[in-house]
Amino acid sequence: MIKVNIVCVGKIKEEYLRSACAEYIKRLSRFCKTEIKEIAEGKNLKSEAEDILRASRGYKIALCVEGRQLSSPGLAEKIGVLVDAGAEITFIIGSSCGLDESVKNAADLRLSFSAMTFPHQLMRVILLEQIYRGFMINSGSEYHK
């Protein structure tokens, strides 16, 4: 079974966001093993970068505003290619200050969800939903309309 990691800076404080994450991780369990690795906020982006890169495995996708935007079917296609190749996938979410350039440079893909800025804690829920949507699209489900 494919492994999907989400490496993120900081912890989720709000129970409703933790519950939403848990729900999507449960839904994803039929498709992949999902693991969230929380990195402590550092004094600066450089110190966070070292911990992020140490925790990242396989095909690395850094979420950043200047990244490439994909549709949900486009992300599903990317996930499908990686699953077919047997690759471990790591999505990286930075802190409210973003990601150090070294993390972006180490990424295989820079991905932007929007030109808008989202709270990094909420972004974890949005990302999990889109990963789930991608697997559902690839399975031929009616979930994505």
Own/partner pairs for 37-43, CB < 8 Å, 24+ apart?
37/5, 37/6, 37/7, 37/8, 38/8, 38/9, 38/10, 38/11, 39/7, 39/8, 39/9, 39/10, 40/9, 40/10, 41/9, 41/10, 41/95, 42/9
Answer yes or no: is pLDDT of 6 > 90: yes
- Domains belonging to the chain, first-starting first, are 2-138 (3.40.1280.10)
Answer yes or no: is pLDDT of 145 > 90: no
Instruction: Supply the pTM of this predicted model.
Output: 0.95
* pLDDT digit string, tens, across residues 79-103: 999 999 999 999 999 998 899 999 9
* pLDDT digit string, tens, across residues 48-85: 999 999 999 999 999 999 999 999 999 999 999 999 99
Answer yes or no: is pLDDT of 144 > 80: no
pLDDT value at position 108? 98
